[in-house]
Amino acid sequence: MPNSKQQIAMYFLFILFVSGASLGLTLFFQPRSLLKIAASIIPGVVYFAETDRQIVALTIDDGPDPNTTAKILEVLSENEAKATFFLISNRVKGNEAIVNEIVSQGHEIGNHLTEDKPSIKLSPAEFEADLLEADEILSQFSKPLWLRPASGWYDRQMIETANKYNYRVALGSIFPYDTNINSSDFASKHILVNLSPGSIIVLHDGGLRGENTVKTLTNVLPELRRRGYEVVTLTELFTN
């Protein structure tokens, strides 16, 4: 039989295993109960919509991209799906035609600020300046109604600033870690397992991430249609 020290070590290993497994399950399933707690701590951010309708919002971050955005638009068109594209404003120059195409196809654009860097690291003044700079550029195509802080972290001041300029702030309830896990197969399975009415799906554009999003949408969108889901913009999700 193991001695007392071995028993204690085995006990702690078991606790670590259970804790790790619980954390892994939480990260994979992203339960709405936890998202509700997060939303209650700093009100003003939506993670999903409360609805019984078979409707979900698709959001695409970090575009526009000269190569992959057009491919994403093609897959969306083939599957009669709409999306909210959270665009980084310093990527618009030279890609104006792509942004115009996003809008002309009935999608909406959202504000993802000026650069791909964590918004939480900006001072309140820097965040406000970034928001307004991006807003000025994006509004030349269509007035953005939604803002998503870069990297997903935010504080109360950021929400107040966004609201000051009539923005609503959205994160999501289905994030398949496509910024870290280079697998469209994983992303597809993650989305389909976690799907429920009112979900907000978060995917990414640009380079390899954009190519993976094309593959993911090619896999997922036909299945969503088969299940009877309508894929819409954020504004459509919260007005239906």
199 and 224 share one domain: yes
Residues 6+ apart with CB under 8 A from 238: 46, 49
- The pLDDT, as a whole number, for residue 14 is 40
87 and 150 share one domain: yes
- Long-range contacts: 224-231, Cβ < 8 Å, 24+? 224/56, 224/79, 224/81, 224/195, 225/79, 225/80, 227/54, 227/195, 228/54, 229/54, 229/55, 229/56, 229/195, 230/53, 230/54, 230/55, 230/56, 231/56, 231/57, 231/58, 231/79, 231/81, 231/82, 231/83
Distance CA 81, CA 216 (A): 14
- The pLDDT, as a whole number, for residue 29 is 58
130 and 224 share one domain: yes
Distance CA 75, CA 96 (A): 20
101 and 26 share one domain: no
Residue by residue, DSSP assigns 130-198 as HHHHHHHHHTTTS---EE--GGG---HHHHHHHHHTT-EEE--SB---TTT---HHHHHHHHHHH--TT
* CATH number of the domain within which 71 lies: 3.20.20.370
19 and 128 share one domain: no
100 and 78 share one domain: yes
How many domains, in total, are found in the chain?
A: 2
228 and 115 share one domain: yes
- The pLDDT, as a whole number, for residue 38 is 84
Q: How many CA atoms lie within 13 A of 181 on its CB side?
A: 15
- Which pTM does this prediction carry? 0.88
176 and 160 share one domain: yes
- The pLDDT, as a whole number, for residue 165 is 98
Mind telling me the catalytic residues?
61, 204
Residues of the chain with pLDDT under 70: 1-29, 240
- The pLDDT, as a whole number, for residue 39 is 86
20 and 70 share one domain: no
- The 10s digit of each residue's pLDDT in 10-37 is 444 444 343 343 334 445 557 888 888 8
109 and 125 share one domain: yes
25 and 65 share one domain: no
41 and 23 share one domain: no
Domain region containing 14: 1-30
